[in-house]
């Protein structure tokens, strides 16, 4: 279901009683409820891979993440294209700052090269300058890089707000039924209409069906169960 169709249905199901701005706001709220439920059920659903946005530079520890990043799933680095990306382990911001101050000893990590990276990272986080506006999140590597390195990211994409008819629905079609009913429930709630409870219950029902659809969409090979024969 596209946004225009959802807008028309939400408008009619709320008796054409609310302004356009409220209809888009209600659909946005309903969509975010579904988006958040999906992340709780399956955090890798809205996954993006990126090998161009971040590049380690000598002497630099902090980098801005892609604008649509909301959760980091994986960070890797490599020195040349002939190498495989080495996974970086997460750490606390405190550890990152301590390691940055002790950056002169970074070459002592050389024994770790191969299966895992010598670098660790803290983030994503918002610094004081990024708490307003577009809120670009950042990542901090330690120890301090001494040469240029390529970085591989895998992250969860942010929810795209719905503000008007030019907005994009980032949910798959299967999730729009719950989104629509939650939006209609909110509009009727603004009218003090008891139908809001019925539409919210309907939204819960569709959300349950959608989450079932999300759980296992790879059916090429099912899970194997080894019997206990002790």
pTM of the full structure: 0.79
Strand (E) positions, the chain? 47-50, 55-56, 62-64, 69-78, 86-87, 89-90, 120-125, 138-142, 149-157
Give residue-wise pLDDT tens across range 27-60. 999 999 999 999 988 878 899 999 999 999 999 9
pLDDT at 205 over 80: yes
Cα(178)–Cα(33) distance, rounded to whole angstroms? Answer: 9
By the 10 Å C-beta count (0-12 exposed, 13-18 middle, 19+ buried), 128 is classed as exposed
**What's the DSSP call for residue 182?**
H
The domain ranges of the chain are 3-43+170-215, 47-157
- E strand or H helix at 11, and its extent? helix 3-13
Give, in order, the Cα–Cα distances in Å from 11 to each of 20, 105, 166, 199, 213: 8, 63, 17, 14, 28
Q: What is the Cα–Cα distance from 12 to 10, expressed in whole angstroms?
A: 6
Q: Is 75 helix (H, G, I), strand (E, B) or coil?
A: strand
Give how far Cα 202 sits from Cα of 45, 191, 196, Å.
23, 18, 10
Residues 6+ apart with CB under 8 A from 44: 73, 156
Report the alpha-carbon distance of residue 50 to residue 139 in Å, rounded.
Answer: 14
DSSP element (H, E) containing 48: strand 47-50
Q: What is the mean pLDDT of residues 102-119?
A: 55
pLDDT band (50, 70, 90) for residue 94:
low
- Would you mind telling me the total number of residues written for the chain in this entry? 230
Rounded distance between C-alpha atoms, residue 79 and residue 154, angstroms: 18
Closest CA to 52 of 121, 147, 150: 150
Q: How many CB atoms lie within 10 A of CB 107?
A: 9
Summarize the confidence of residues 108-115 as an average pLDDT.
46
The CB density around residue 99, as the number of other CB atoms within 10 Å, is 22
- Mean pLDDT (the chain) is 87
Confidence at 92, pLDDT banded by 50, 70, 90: low
**pLDDT cut 90: percent of the chain above it:** 69
């Amino acid at each position: 279901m596209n946004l225009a169709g959802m807008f028309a249905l939400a408008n009619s199901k709320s008796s054409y009683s609310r302004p356009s701005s409220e209809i888009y706001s209600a659909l946005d709220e309903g969509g975010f409820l579904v988006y958040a439920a999906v992340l709780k059920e399956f955090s890798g659903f809205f996954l993006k891979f990126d090998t161009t946005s971040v590049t380690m530079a000598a002497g630099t520890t902090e980098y801005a993440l892609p604008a649509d990043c909301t959760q980091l799933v994986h960070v890797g680095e490599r020195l040349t294209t002939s190498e495989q990306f080495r996974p970086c382990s997460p750490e606390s911001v405190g550890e990152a700052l301590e390691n940055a101050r002790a950056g002169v000893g970074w070459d002592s990590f050389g024994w770790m090269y191969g299966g895992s990276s010598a670098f660790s990272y803290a983030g994503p986080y918002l610094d004081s300058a990024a708490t307003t506006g577009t809120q670009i999140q950042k990542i901090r590597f330690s120890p301090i890089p001494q040469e240029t390195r390529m970085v591989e990211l895998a992250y969860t994409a942010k929810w795209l707000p719905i503000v008007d008819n030019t907005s994009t629905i980032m949910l798959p079609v299967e999730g729009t039924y719950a989104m629509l009913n939650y939006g209609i429930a909110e509009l009727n709630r603004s009218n003090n209409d008891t139908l809001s409870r019925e539409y919210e219950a309907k939204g819960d029902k569709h959300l349950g069906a959608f989450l079932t659809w999300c759980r296992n969409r790879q059916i090429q090979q099912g899970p194997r169960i080894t019997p206990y024969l002790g």
